[in-house]
Chains A and B, each alone.
Chain A
Protein backbone atom coordinates (compact mmCIF):
# COMPACT_ATOMS: atom_id res chain seq x y z
CA UNK A 1 0.00 0.00 0.00
CA UNK A 2 1.34 3.47 -0.79
CA UNK A 3 -1.39 5.59 0.86
CA UNK A 4 0.99 6.96 3.50
CA UNK A 5 4.69 7.05 2.63
CA UNK A 6 7.50 7.75 5.08
CA UNK A 7 11.13 8.46 4.36
CA UNK A 8 13.70 7.44 5.26
CA UNK A 9 12.81 3.93 6.41
CA UNK A 10 15.92 3.71 8.57
CA UNK A 11 18.03 6.46 10.09
CA UNK A 12 21.10 6.42 12.30
CA UNK A 13 22.13 9.77 13.70
CA UNK A 14 24.51 11.16 16.25
CA UNK A 15 23.35 13.20 19.20
CA UNK A 16 24.62 16.43 17.63
CA UNK A 17 23.07 15.85 14.21
CA UNK A 18 20.02 17.51 12.71
CA UNK A 19 17.76 15.40 10.52
CA UNK A 20 14.16 15.40 9.31
CA UNK A 21 11.61 12.67 8.85
CA UNK A 22 9.16 13.05 6.01
CA UNK A 23 5.63 11.78 5.60
CA UNK A 24 3.35 12.10 2.59
CA UNK A 25 -0.22 10.91 2.30
CA UNK A 26 -2.05 10.32 -0.96
CA UNK A 27 -5.47 9.64 0.54
CA UNK A 28 -6.90 13.15 0.57
CA UNK A 29 -7.10 13.09 4.37
CA UNK A 30 -7.18 16.28 6.41
CA UNK A 31 -5.52 15.11 9.64
CA UNK A 32 -1.98 13.82 10.11
CA UNK A 33 -0.23 12.37 13.14
CA UNK A 34 3.19 11.52 14.50
CA UNK A 35 3.45 8.55 16.85
CA UNK A 36 6.47 7.08 18.61
CA UNK A 37 6.70 3.34 19.23
CA UNK A 38 9.39 2.13 21.62
CA UNK A 39 10.05 -1.50 22.45
CA UNK A 40 7.43 -3.02 24.76
CA UNK A 41 5.53 0.28 25.09
CA UNK A 42 2.27 1.44 23.55
CA UNK A 43 2.27 3.83 20.65
CA UNK A 44 2.68 7.35 22.03
CA UNK A 45 0.84 10.15 20.29
CA UNK A 46 3.27 13.01 19.70
CA UNK A 47 1.54 15.52 17.43
CA UNK A 48 -1.72 15.91 15.57
CA UNK A 49 -2.38 18.29 12.72
CA UNK A 50 -5.89 18.93 11.50
CA UNK A 51 -6.31 21.07 8.38
CA UNK A 52 -2.63 22.00 8.74
CA UNK A 53 -3.05 23.36 12.25
CA UNK A 54 -1.45 21.66 15.19
CA UNK A 55 -4.18 20.51 17.54
CA UNK A 56 -2.26 18.24 19.84
CA UNK A 57 1.19 18.35 21.38
CA UNK A 58 1.61 15.78 24.07
CA UNK A 59 4.41 17.33 26.09
CA UNK A 60 6.96 16.31 23.53
CA UNK A 61 10.49 17.65 24.13
CA UNK A 62 11.44 20.61 21.98
CA UNK A 63 14.18 18.59 20.29
CA UNK A 64 11.28 17.25 18.18
CA UNK A 65 9.75 19.91 15.95
CA UNK A 66 6.85 19.12 13.61
CA UNK A 67 5.97 20.95 10.44
CA UNK A 68 2.88 20.58 8.28
CA UNK A 69 3.23 22.77 5.15
CA UNK A 70 0.06 21.39 3.55
CA UNK A 71 -2.52 18.69 4.11
CA UNK A 72 -0.48 16.05 2.29
CA UNK A 73 2.91 16.51 3.92
CA UNK A 74 4.20 16.26 7.45
CA UNK A 75 7.74 16.57 8.71
CA UNK A 76 9.41 15.84 12.02
CA UNK A 77 12.61 17.83 12.50
CA UNK A 78 15.09 16.28 14.91
CA UNK A 79 18.02 17.91 16.67
CA UNK A 80 20.24 17.05 19.63
CA UNK A 81 18.43 13.79 20.26
CA UNK A 82 19.22 11.38 23.05
CA UNK A 83 19.81 7.60 22.79
CA UNK A 84 16.44 7.01 24.50
CA UNK A 85 14.78 8.68 21.50
CA UNK A 86 15.67 5.61 19.45
CA UNK A 87 12.34 4.13 18.35
CA UNK A 88 10.02 3.55 15.43
CA UNK A 89 8.40 6.82 14.36
CA UNK A 90 5.08 6.33 12.65
CA UNK A 91 3.11 8.81 10.61
CA UNK A 92 -0.62 8.37 10.11
CA UNK A 93 -3.47 10.20 8.44
CA UNK A 94 -7.23 10.19 8.74
CA UNK A 95 -10.18 11.85 7.07
CA UNK A 96 -12.44 11.95 10.11
CA UNK A 97 -11.94 11.02 13.75
CA UNK A 98 -14.68 8.43 13.34
CA UNK A 99 -12.86 6.56 10.56
CA UNK A 100 -9.61 5.53 12.16
CA UNK A 101 -6.15 6.34 10.88
CA UNK A 102 -3.91 4.81 8.24
CA UNK A 103 -0.22 4.42 8.99
CA UNK A 104 2.96 4.67 7.01
CA UNK A 105 5.61 1.99 7.35
CA UNK A 106 7.57 4.05 9.84
CA UNK A 107 11.12 5.30 10.22
CA UNK A 108 13.28 3.23 12.50
CA UNK A 109 15.54 5.74 14.22
CA UNK A 110 18.70 4.91 16.10
CA UNK A 111 20.49 7.65 18.02
CA UNK A 112 24.13 6.90 18.76
Chain B
Protein backbone atom coordinates (compact mmCIF):
# COMPACT_ATOMS: atom_id res chain seq x y z
CA UNK B 1 0.00 0.00 0.00
CA UNK B 2 1.32 3.45 -0.90
CA UNK B 3 2.11 5.74 2.01
CA UNK B 4 -0.01 8.55 0.58
CA UNK B 5 -2.65 7.82 -2.05
CA UNK B 6 -4.51 10.25 -4.24
CA UNK B 7 -6.84 9.95 -7.18
CA UNK B 8 -4.57 11.02 -10.07
CA UNK B 9 -7.43 12.53 -12.07
CA UNK B 10 -7.37 14.44 -14.29
CA UNK B 11 -10.30 16.48 -13.10
CA UNK B 12 -11.63 18.72 -15.87
CA UNK B 13 -14.19 21.21 -14.58
CA UNK B 14 -15.80 24.43 -15.84
CA UNK B 15 -15.11 27.76 -14.20
CA UNK B 16 -17.26 28.27 -11.14
CA UNK B 17 -17.53 24.58 -10.36
CA UNK B 18 -16.88 23.03 -6.98
CA UNK B 19 -14.32 20.24 -6.96
CA UNK B 20 -13.14 17.93 -4.20
CA UNK B 21 -9.93 15.95 -3.87
CA UNK B 22 -9.36 13.04 -1.54
CA UNK B 23 -6.26 11.55 -0.02
CA UNK B 24 -5.58 8.60 2.27
CA UNK B 25 -2.43 7.84 4.24
CA UNK B 26 -1.11 4.64 5.76
CA UNK B 27 1.06 5.80 8.68
CA UNK B 28 -1.17 6.18 11.72
CA UNK B 29 1.68 8.01 13.51
CA UNK B 30 1.43 10.90 11.06
CA UNK B 31 1.01 14.22 12.79
CA UNK B 32 1.12 16.96 10.16
CA UNK B 33 -0.94 17.29 7.02
CA UNK B 34 -0.77 19.68 4.12
CA UNK B 35 -2.00 20.42 0.64
CA UNK B 36 0.51 21.74 -1.88
CA UNK B 37 -0.02 22.91 -5.40
CA UNK B 38 2.43 22.38 -8.22
CA UNK B 39 2.24 24.14 -11.55
CA UNK B 40 3.77 22.57 -14.64
CA UNK B 41 7.58 22.51 -14.42
CA UNK B 42 7.56 24.51 -11.19
CA UNK B 43 8.29 23.63 -7.59
CA UNK B 44 5.52 22.62 -5.16
CA UNK B 45 4.09 25.48 -3.12
CA UNK B 46 2.36 25.18 0.21
CA UNK B 47 -1.37 25.81 -0.20
CA UNK B 48 -2.59 25.14 3.31
CA UNK B 49 -2.09 23.08 6.41
CA UNK B 50 -4.85 20.68 7.44
CA UNK B 51 -6.12 20.47 11.00
CA UNK B 52 -8.45 18.03 12.71
CA UNK B 53 -11.00 20.78 13.20
CA UNK B 54 -10.94 21.56 9.49
CA UNK B 55 -9.81 24.86 8.10
CA UNK B 56 -10.83 27.28 5.42
CA UNK B 57 -8.88 29.81 3.39
CA UNK B 58 -11.11 31.73 1.04
CA UNK B 59 -12.44 29.33 -1.57
CA UNK B 60 -10.40 26.42 -0.19
CA UNK B 61 -11.52 24.12 2.62
CA UNK B 62 -9.42 21.27 4.01
CA UNK B 63 -10.61 18.47 6.26
CA UNK B 64 -8.81 15.75 8.19
CA UNK B 65 -10.31 12.53 9.53
CA UNK B 66 -7.67 10.85 11.67
CA UNK B 67 -9.79 7.78 12.40
CA UNK B 68 -10.17 7.06 8.68
CA UNK B 69 -6.70 8.42 7.82
CA UNK B 70 -8.31 10.59 5.18
CA UNK B 71 -7.72 14.16 4.03
CA UNK B 72 -9.79 16.24 1.65
CA UNK B 73 -9.55 19.53 -0.20
CA UNK B 74 -12.60 21.37 -1.51
CA UNK B 75 -12.29 24.20 -4.01
CA UNK B 76 -15.36 26.36 -4.52
CA UNK B 77 -16.04 28.71 -7.43
CA UNK B 78 -13.01 27.39 -9.30
CA UNK B 79 -10.94 29.80 -11.40
CA UNK B 80 -8.81 29.21 -14.46
CA UNK B 81 -5.79 29.97 -12.29
CA UNK B 82 -6.62 27.01 -10.05
CA UNK B 83 -5.43 24.66 -12.81
CA UNK B 84 -2.50 22.77 -11.34
CA UNK B 85 -1.56 19.50 -9.68
CA UNK B 86 -2.61 19.27 -6.03
CA UNK B 87 -0.34 17.27 -3.76
CA UNK B 88 -1.38 15.71 -0.46
CA UNK B 89 1.47 15.68 2.07
CA UNK B 90 1.71 13.81 5.35
CA UNK B 91 4.45 14.26 7.92
CA UNK B 92 5.73 12.89 11.19
CA UNK B 93 7.42 14.73 14.02
CA UNK B 94 10.92 13.85 12.78
CA UNK B 95 10.57 16.06 9.70
CA UNK B 96 9.73 13.10 7.49
CA UNK B 97 7.26 14.47 4.89
CA UNK B 98 5.74 12.13 2.31
CA UNK B 99 4.00 13.26 -0.82
CA UNK B 100 1.16 11.74 -2.78
CA UNK B 101 1.49 11.49 -6.55
CA UNK B 102 -0.88 14.43 -6.99
CA UNK B 103 -4.27 15.10 -8.53
CA UNK B 104 -4.31 17.10 -11.72
CA UNK B 105 -6.98 19.78 -12.08
CA UNK B 106 -7.85 21.66 -15.27
CA UNK B 107 -10.42 24.45 -15.02
CA UNK B 108 -11.90 25.37 -18.38
CA UNK B 109 -13.69 28.54 -19.49
Contacts and interface: CB of A to CB of B under 8 A. Distances in A.
B91 to A, nearest CB: 5
Nearest to A35: B99
A56 B94 contact: yes
Interface residues of B, number: 25
Nearest to A98: B32
A42 interface: yes
Given A55-B94, A97-B32, A105 B42 contact: yes
Contacts of A56: 94-96
B25 to A, nearest CB: 12
Contacts of A42: 4, 87, 99-102
Given A41-B101, A42-B102, A98-B32, A103 B94 contact: no
Given A43-B44, A90-B43, A97-B97, 13 more contacts: A31-B95, A43-B99, A45-B96, A45-B97, A48-B95, A97-B32, A100-B49, A100-B89, A101-B97, A102-B46, A103-B43, A103-B44, A104-B43
Interface of B: 4, 31-32, 34, 36, 42-46, 49, 87, 89, 91-102
Interface of A: 31, 33, 35, 40-43, 45, 48, 50, 55-56, 90, 94, 97-106
